[in-house]
Structure 1
Amino acid sequence: MSLFRKFFGSSNLASDEKKETEISKALIEKSMAIDELFIQNFKKNGGKFLYCENSEEVKEQFENILEENDWFESQVLCYDLTLYSMLDDNKLIYNKTSTPKFLLASCENLIADQGSILFSSKQIKQHRPNELPENIIVVGKTSQIIGEKTDGLSAIKRKYITDYPTNITTIKYFQKVKEEDFTQYGTSAKNLYLLLLEDL
């Protein structure tokens, strides 16, 4: 690069546009890498992943999960008003029992480097992970995939400026450990399905 270009910038608009295009491509590739990293780690943790292109596919996959597990006419725990219609459509009883078959919830974020799901009191109230049903169905969005847990905490601070949620926790293990693993001490494995809705 010449000394004049260094001080005065490039006068060639075509090269500037090319650089912007390359930067955009790099950002897209980085974004795709985060998506792929999340899916890989999530599956490695034992999670069941179902990709959905639209809300109709979310409902269809939800019904497939109910059929696969014979959860029709089951009792369900759900605190998200936006998900009640899926329960009503399938005539499921929710929030009226102390022994629900599964939890239906949205989430705060999907953490790529851990393959985990970040929840707050907005989705699970004050329940600790070991107090939740063994079976969980999460409806998440591709826009909720982030790199690390610290990014998730920052996103929560930005999202809830005045009504900051409590009970912020992640669930990471989605299958029983075959051998004793001290890294999972104090955690409870969940049978977790993720319905991931494409919204980007």
Structure 2
Amino acid sequence: MSLFRKIFGNSGDTSNSKKDKEEKSPYTPEVNIPVDEMFTRNFQKNGGKFIYCENLNEISDNFLNILEENDWFECNVLCFEPSLNYLINENKLGIINNTEEAQFFFSTCENLIGDEGSILFSSNQFKHFKPNELPINMVVFATTSQLVGSKGDGLRFIKQKYDKEYPTNITTIKYFEEEKEEDFLHYGSCHKNLYLLLLEDL
């Protein structure tokens, strides 16, 4: 996806974007924003920590960087997905099922919702737990093919993906900074200190 390469230093010629900025009035509303750009803006505005990765080696390197940044070495991790165990095992972390003793929760997700900057989960990641029952620290591994425009698009994606065996406990997490909860508009919402490892797969 060209947007991510542009943001993270892999872009080529930037003259076209400069020209567009010069010609566009600052009061002109933006329309038809690509879903990747829309998600990135809204997710970061909501306080999420975004790490773009071009391959699995970068996923491993950046996962290690997250551990170093938070001093999460030799800690316990809550994770219900065996496909992620290789990252946990190669960093010598412990996998437990106790939500209170885990330092962070590690999972995949169903979709990334562009217009909200939120992340859509289901029982495939959360089992029966509600977001507020999980550790406040989360690391989510997703791919660019999981980007969708709206929550409705995400629900349709789930319906197509799982055919008749639909997951339960479908929920989104949207706020990633504690102060967002103080706003009465966000009363009752659950915030998480969330890192998103996004793998380019398109």
Matching residue of 1:74: 75
Deviation at 1:179, TM superposition (A): 7.7
User: Is the contact between residue 81 and residue 107 of structure 2 (CA under 8 Å) also seen in structure 1?
Assistant: yes
Matching residue of 1:33: 34
Residue 126 (structure 1) aligned to one of 120, 125, 128: 128
Deviation at 1:180, TM superposition (A): 3.0
SS at structure 2 position matched to 1:139: strand
Residue segments in structure 2 that go unaligned for 5+ positions in a row: 1-30
Whole-Å separation in 1 of the counterparts to 2:74 and 2:93: 5
* One-letter identity of the residue aligned with 1:173: Y
Number of matched pairs: 171
Whole-Å separation in 2 of the counterparts to 1:120 and 1:61: 25
User: Is the contact between residue 180 and residue 186 of structure 2 (CA under 8 Å) also seen in structure 1?
Assistant: no
Whole-Å separation in 2 of the counterparts to 1:190 and 1:104: 12
Whole-Å separation in 1 of the counterparts to 2:198 and 2:109: 11
SS at structure 2 position matched to 1:177: helix
Matching residue of 1:94: 95
SS at structure 2 position matched to 1:152: helix
User: Is the contact between residue 105 and residue 139 of structure 2 (CA under 8 Å) also seen in structure 1?
Assistant: yes
Residue 149 (structure 2) aligned to one of 147, 154, 161: 147
Deviation at 1:95, TM superposition (A): 2.0
Matching residue of 1:84: 85
Whole-Å separation in 1 of the counterparts to 2:85 and 2:167: 21
Whole-Å separation in 1 of the counterparts to 2:130 and 2:155: 18
Counterpart check, 1:105 vs 2:107: yes
Moved more, 134-143 or 179-188: 179-188
Cα deviation digits, residues 93-131 of structure 1 (max 9, x gap): 012434101001000000000000000000110111101
Deviation at 1:161, TM superposition (A): 1.2
RMSD: 1.6
Counterpart check, 1:156 vs 2:158: yes
SS at structure 1 position matched to 2:182: coil
Deviation at 1:32, TM superposition (A): 7.2
Whole-Å separation in 2 of the counterparts to 1:179 and 1:194: 20
Whole-Å separation in 1 of the counterparts to 2:181 and 2:109: 29
Cα deviation digits, residues 121-151 of structure 1 (max 9, x gap): 0011011110110000000100000000000
Whole-Å separation in 1 of the counterparts to 2:178 and 2:105: 18
SS at structure 1 position matched to 2:47: coil
Call closer, same or farther: CA 1:32–1:197 in 2, change over 3 Å. farther
Residue segments in structure 1 that go unaligned for 5+ positions in a row: 1-29
Matching residue of 1:42: 43
Matching residue of 2:172: 170
Matching residue of 2:21: none
Deviation at 1:184, TM superposition (A): 1.1
% identical aligned pairs: 57
SS at structure 2 position matched to 1:66: helix
Whole-Å separation in 2 of the counterparts to 1:152 and 1:178: 24
Deviation at 1:80, TM superposition (A): 1.1
TM-score normalized by structure 1? 0.82
Deviation at 1:177, TM superposition (A): 1.3
